[in-house]
Structure 1
Amino acid sequence: MSLTLTVDGERWRTHLRALTERTPGLVPVAKGNGYGFGLGRLARKTQWLRDQGLGADTLAVGTYHELAEVASRFTGDLLVLTPWRPFGAALDVDPALAGRVIHTVSRPEDLAALLTHDPGARYVLELVTSMLRHGMTPRGLRSLGGLTDRGRLEGVALHLPLAQGSHLSQVQRLLTDVVAAGLPTRTIWVSHLTPEELERLRASYADFEIRPRIGTDLWLGDRQALTVTATVLDVHAVERGDVFGYRSRTAPKSGHLLVVSGGTAHGIGLEAPTGDQSLKSRAATLARGGLDAVGFVRSPYSIDGKQRLFAEPPHMQASMLFLPSGARVPSVGDEIEVRVRYTATTFDRVVVA
């Protein structure tokens, strides 16, 4: 009676090994909901990769709050991707972890504050990219001067966008800025570069150590190894005009109502914006909005290979689907497939077969 992620364990582990072996310097990323697996499981799996001699000496987390969940399950270094600030959780790192934590510093003034707070701090300097999210300007990088001789500078971080097209020209320009700053490091931490771009970057900058930070392509790179299912909790036959649901809607025609596991508490029905800006995509969004007003919106639940309609908006822990007459009706206790966005879904169970 749950929303379940089932993992073909051998296939998943084979993918993890293969990607790690062909990506020198790989830094696994575990943040948020742990890409659906949970942070603890990803930390253990990173330790498994490390124990096999495949590298994975550093695990990246999103925030300081996530350190506690992974620190006891992974014994290597812990890179925090959210930039250090002189307030909040950044100031409350467990002293027992201080030697393992690598901070991200994105403002010149924060480096001085960090080194005052912890003279032995380990850190990477983030250089701003076309993302314009966090990072110093090249001038800010050059302004650091002798500060970078204090603490332990672990490299320069570049967070690149996901947009299509090569990022190489941008990275090459940024590396020129790094060289011009005269920093005492030759380590570059990067995200969102393709294998081909990484290979070309290493060939062009052989004196640099490139550390790719990878999350989605690592943990979710083989979708055929992952199956999401929901349990059918109840089935009700309805005729046209029958009243049902929280909002007392009426059935548009005869059929069946299915109550299935999975609701807003799991992330079902809470669709995050996508990056597709095409006219077709926007038209589809408008169409879904109109359908939602009368309850006819496609759900992520599939029966016999066809996505079925929500009968009404999802509830907190369950959803109600409408099956028209003629469709096969599952029985209570049957499992049906669900298509989800893993980074926005919380599962009741994760089963690694």
Structure 2
Amino acid sequence: MAFDLHLDEKRWRDHLRHICDTTPGMVPVIKGNGYGLGRDLLADESRELGADLIAVGTYAEVPGALDRFDGSVMVLTPWRPFTTDVVLDERVIHTVGRVEDIAQLAGEHAGARVIVEGETSMSRHGLDRHELAPATEALGELVVEGFAIHLPMAGGNLREAEQWAAVLETSRLDTTTLFVSHLTPVELSQLRERRPQLTIRPRIGTSLWLGDLGALEVRATVLDRHFVERGERIGYRQRPVPRDGHVLIIAGGTSHGVGLEAPRAVASTVDRGKSLAKGGLAAAGRALSPFTVAGKQRWFAEPPHMQASMVLLPADVTAPAIGDTVPAAVRYTIATFDQILRH
């Protein structure tokens, strides 16, 4: 199979260096599938950028990060007493967001390094601002490396970030380091100007690794092609073909993330209309594939298979030859590639 990511290394690294140089205190985020590039590669690049700290999503990702990266590793998922794969290492920084967890961690692992997290309007993890006092009392001999806030992605987060910065400054937490997520460069600059006594450290993932999509291109190999006539039944489900043309068998299926998607935020009337239209087409058994042939995104012949997809091509379009490659649009955070080809 050949569902490959082509990486323009120079262009990609130029972008990484630009973000690093213009974002003081940046903490690279390396989690999940490594944004399609793989966590090992991102850990190596973080080391080359001179980062002293990276953030991973879960404790399961810590051992690999410690092997590939020489600095400290922050775990974004909060420590819980029932977590069975906690890694206790002097380079690991744990996130804590409940008073009872802080007290238990302090009792069991005095000297562990922690980030205290506040509960923002995300309403996901963290302490309410009124819980900071009892949390501080419970810290014991835990080493506080900073205070963290994880903000929404809707934008306009400066006001909330300032509110939490004020909370930190008036608290008795023994830190002046504030870790933030999802502030724009302008918001970061303004927050630093307004809170010069704090060290602001942005945690950045998507805009770092995937901030210049022009440096990445996904190409899928045409594995086979067949001429079919209208009404001919094909595929696992033996659906009739709606018109004469070609069926292309293209590398890339559900094991690569093809055809998989998470629910999307629908904010406007236009967005709702598009979602309704898409849902109606899906109900009728029609769905656009991510593959582009002859400059146009083509329809799936049926839902993608595990490692390949069947795509319909009208008879009036010249079919690519077996062995040719076609571009594919993917959601990198769920994509898996057969190989990454660096140019």
Interval of TM-score (by shorter of Structure 1 and Structure 2)? over 0.9
Alpha carbons 2:103, 2:139 under 8 Å: kept: no
Alpha carbons 1:262, 1:319 under 8 Å: kept: yes
Deviations 1:102-143, CA, capped at 9 Å, x for gaps: 000010111111112210100010001000000100111121
What is the DSSP-based 3-state SS (H/G/I as helix, E as strand, rest coil) of the residue aligned with 1:114? Answer: helix
Q: Which residue of 2 aligns with 1:11?
A: 11
Q: Which residue of 2 aligns with 1:277?
A: 267
What is the DSSP-based 3-state SS (H/G/I as helix, E as strand, rest coil) of the residue aligned with 1:46? Answer: helix
CA distance in 1, matches of 2:271, 2:290: 17
Q: Which residue of 2 aligns with 1:101?
A: 92
CA distance in 2, matches of 1:205, 1:15: 28
Q: Which residue of 2 aligns with 1:157?
A: 148
CA distance in 1, matches of 2:283, 2:237: 12
Q: Which residue of 2 aligns with 1:110?
A: 101
CA distance in 2, matches of 1:226, 1:322: 26
Deviations 1:22-58, CA, capped at 9 Å, x for gaps: 10000000000000001111111111111xxxxx100
Structure 1 residue 124 corresponds to structure 2 residue 115: yes
Alpha carbons 1:149, 1:184 under 8 Å: kept: no
Structure 1 residue 168 corresponds to structure 2 residue 163: no
Q: Which residue of 2 aligns with 1:63?
A: 58
Q: CA deviation at 1:149?
A: 5.3
Deviations 1:296-329, CA, capped at 9 Å, x for gaps: 2211110122100111111111100000111120
Q: CA deviation at 1:61?
A: 0.1
The amino acid across from 2:74 in the alignment is: L
CA distance in 2, matches of 1:281, 1:256: 32
Within 5 A, what are the aligned runs for 1:74-85? 74-85=69-80
Deviations 1:259-309, CA, capped at 9 Å, x for gaps: 101111111111111223222222222222222234322111101221001
Structure 1 residue 45 corresponds to structure 2 residue 45: yes
Q: CA deviation at 1:180?
A: 2.4
Deviations 1:153-211, CA, capped at 9 Å, x for gaps: 001000000003x2111111112222222211100000000011111111111111111
Alpha carbons 1:295, 1:310 under 8 Å: kept: no
Alpha carbons 1:120, 1:151 under 8 Å: kept: yes
Q: CA deviation at 1:145?
A: 3.7
Instruction: Provide runs of 4+ in structure 1 moved above 3 Å.
Output: 145-149
Out of 233, 246, 256, the position equivalent to 1:266 is 256
Identity %: 49
Q: Which residue of 2 aligns with 1:251?
A: 241
The amino acid across from 1:252 in the alignment is: P
The amino acid across from 1:139 in the alignment is: H
The amino acid across from 1:2 in the alignment is: A
CA distance in 1, matches of 2:302, 2:25: 48
CA distance in 1, matches of 2:166, 2:274: 44
CA distance in 2, matches of 1:349, 1:145: 48
Alpha carbons 2:176, 2:197 under 8 Å: kept: yes
Tell me how many residue pairs correspond in the alignment.
343
Q: Which residue of 2 aligns with 1:241?
A: 231
Structure 1 residue 202 corresponds to structure 2 residue 197: no
CA distance in 2, matches of 1:173, 1:233: 56
Name the stretch that deviates more: 265-274 or 100-109.
265-274
Alpha carbons 2:165, 2:195 under 8 Å: kept: no
Pairwise CA RMSD: 1.2
CA distance in 2, matches of 1:70, 1:13: 20
The amino acid across from 2:258 in the alignment is: I
Out of 122, 125, 138, the position equivalent to 2:129 is 138
